[in-house]
């Protein structure tokens, strides 16, 4: 099992930039501790200062903030291969991190990461990971700020399709996503009731199909059209 984590981690690093064999050797010496966590489990909460980062090997998680009045906004969805709390290396958590499904995660001690930073290639790759996450966050601002509800949902679907395909987790563009309508609402900044209506619309128009938890994007062109999706920001 530990080999799995190292393989995922090196794969991630390689996808982020130039990594040579010496770099890899050091990565392989990292002691990653595997862990399986149930669905709807809070991995980290605001203000936490964890001593490790989580590498998601399997499953979905999300970052969110909840206001005093109980309103929640989901900031991003995390898929396998990602390190959603990489920034915890530098600052305290400013949001929560929660599993959506059962997750297999690798806990990488901060010390180990700090040691890796001695290798400039790795330091650069990890910085780049933060930059890519930031770029996704910026697009979410546009999504909730300037798109109507239908377009918001369409946009997140296309983003996920794109990211999951890159991660090799989507076959022919359809993918599993065990998300409740209330979670959708908190992703999109709209109400649960309205999510329900938007989803119905998309299904009735045969733009998407939804059985169990798998989303099949039947009419990608239409989705792109309504959401003005442009994958540039995913670099």
Phi, psi of 67 (to 5 degrees): -80, 170
Residues 73-132 that bind a copy of itself (CB under 8 A): 73, 75, 87, 90-92, 94-95, 117-118, 120, 123-124, 126-128, 130-132
User: Closest by alpha carbon to 186, among 42, 50, 74, 51?
Assistant: 74
17: left (phi over 0), alpha (psi -120 to 50) or beta: left
Q: Is 150 in the site for DNA (CB under 7 A)?
A: yes
Pattern 41-80, a copy of itself, x by CB under 8 A: -----xx---------------x-x-xxx-xxx-x-----
Do residues 78 and 84 make contact, with C-beta atoms less than 8 angstroms apart?
Answer: yes
Task: Return the one option of a copy of itself, DNA, none that residue 33 interacts with (CB less than 5 to 8 A, by type).
Answer: none
Q: Count interface residues toward DNA (CB under 7 A).
A: 16
Q: Is 27 in the site for a copy of itself (CB under 8 A)?
A: no
User: What is the spatial distance between Cα 36 and Cα 32, in angstroms, rounded to a whole number?
Assistant: 13
Q: Is 66 in the site for DNA (CB under 7 A)?
A: no
The secondary structure element, H or E, covering residue 43 is strand 42-44
User: What is the spatial distance between Cα 124 and Cα 15, in angstroms, rounded to a whole number?
Assistant: 12
Task: Return the one option of DNA, a copy of itself, none that residue 3 interacts with (CB less than 5 to 8 A, by type).
Answer: none
Which range in 47-55, 124-132, 146-154, 166-174 contacts DNA by CB under 7 A? Answer: 146-154
34 or 189, CB closer to a copy of itself? 189
Do residues 101 and 39 make contact, with C-beta atoms less than 8 angstroms apart?
Answer: yes
Do residues 92 and 49 make contact, with C-beta atoms less than 8 angstroms apart?
Answer: yes
From 193, 205, 209, 228, residue interacting with DNA (rule: CB under 7 A): 193
Where on the chain is the footprint of DNA (CB under 7 A)?
148-150, 180-182, 189-194, 196-197, 199-200
């Amino acid at each position: 099992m530990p080999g799995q984590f190292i393989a995922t981690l090196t794969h991630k690093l390689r996808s982020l930039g130039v990594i040579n064999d010496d770099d890899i050797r050091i990565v392989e010496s990292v002691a990653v501790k595997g862990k399986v966590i149930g669905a709807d489990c809070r991995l980290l909460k605001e203000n936490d200062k964890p001593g490790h980062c989580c590498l998601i090997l399997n499953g979905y998680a999300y970052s969110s903030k909840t206001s005093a009045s109980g309103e929640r906004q989901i900031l991003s969805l995390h898929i396998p291969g990602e390190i959603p709390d990489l920034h915890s290396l530098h600052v305290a958590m400013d949001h929560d991190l929660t599993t959506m499904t059962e997750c297999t995660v690798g806990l990488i001690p901060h010390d180990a990461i700090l040691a890796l930073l001695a290798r400039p290639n790795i330091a650069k790759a990890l910085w780049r990971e933060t930059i890519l996450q930031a770029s996704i966050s910026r697009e979410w601002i546009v999504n909730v700020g300037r798109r109507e509800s239908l377009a918001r949902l369409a946009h997140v679907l296309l983003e996920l399709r794109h990211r999951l395909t890159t991660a090799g987790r989507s076959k022919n563009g359809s993918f599993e996503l065990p998300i409740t309508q209330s979670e959708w609402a908190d992703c999109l900044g709209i109400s649960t009731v309205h999510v329900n209506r938007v989803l119905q619309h998309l299904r009735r128009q045969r733009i998407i199909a939804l059985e169990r938890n798998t989303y099949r994007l039947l009419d990608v062109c239409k989705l792109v059209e309504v959401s003005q999706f442009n994958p540039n920001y995913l670099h």
